[in-house]
């Protein structure tokens, strides 16, 4: 009797240092994985890297999973409150979602294109397409509900 081999379950993790999208066998997620490009440790879950406008374009083209983008600035208090919440969300939804941040003081291309008025502003892309947005330093429970209809 023949059975088709099951594809190896993998988890998608974006390297916060170099931006490389790594696929890690799920069974080896806790074996101290390193980035295939720059060898940075990917052991910690919920790492949220900063991308510039060009980096975000590349990520939206290449990401095999949904992308959540936090538009923030260093001087913004609510942004600092939101940051650990989104790290928690990134860890919880690992494998289904990548979370990155755009510093709106340095990169304004996407922020102006998307009509970002106040920060923090959080925008969700699925398959490279913009599907939802919310703003404010809201709790993790809010973001779980925000994501639920869009993630498989």
Catalytic residues: 76, 79
Say how many residues touch Zn ion, by CB under 5 A: 8
Residue 111 interacting with Zn ion (CB under 5 A): no
Where does this chain touch Zn ion (CB under 5 A) — which range of 30-38, 73-81, 97-105, 140-148? 30-38
CB of 134 to Zn ion, least distance (A): 29
CB 33 within 8 A of CB 22: yes
Closest among 132, 124, 152, 109 to 60, alpha carbons compared: 124
Give start and end residues of each alpha helix (H) in 102-139: 109-113
10 exposure class (CB count in 10 Å sphere: 0-12, 13-18, 19+) = middle
Q: Does 34 bind Zn ion (CB under 5 A)?
A: no
Choose one: 5-13, 19-27, 47-55, 91-99; the region binding Zn ion (CB under 5 A): 19-27
Residue 5 C-beta: closest distance to Zn ion, Å: 29
CA distance linking residue 55 with residue 66, whole number of Å:
15
Interface residues with Zn ion (CB under 5 A) are 15, 17-18, 20, 35, 37-38, 40
């Amino acid at each position: 009797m023949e059975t088709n081999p099951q594809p190896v379950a993998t988890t998608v993790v974006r390297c916060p240092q170099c931006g490389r999208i790594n696929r890690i066998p799920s069974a080896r997620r806790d074996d101290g994985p390193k980035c295939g490009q720059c060898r940075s440790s990917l052991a910690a879950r919920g790492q949220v890297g900063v991308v510039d406008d060009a980096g975000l374009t590349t990520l939206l083209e290449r990401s095999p999973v949904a992308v959540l983008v936090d538009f923030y600035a260093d001087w913004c208090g609510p942004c600092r409150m939101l940051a650990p919440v989104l790290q928690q969300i990134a860890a919880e939804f690992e494998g289904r979602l990548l979370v990155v941040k755009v510093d709106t003081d340095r990169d304004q291309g996407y922020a102006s294109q998307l009509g970002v008025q106040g920060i923090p502003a959080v925008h969700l892309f699925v398959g490279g397409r913009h599907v939802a947005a919310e703003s404010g330093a809201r709790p993790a429970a809010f973001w779980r509900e925000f994501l639920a209809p869009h993630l498989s």
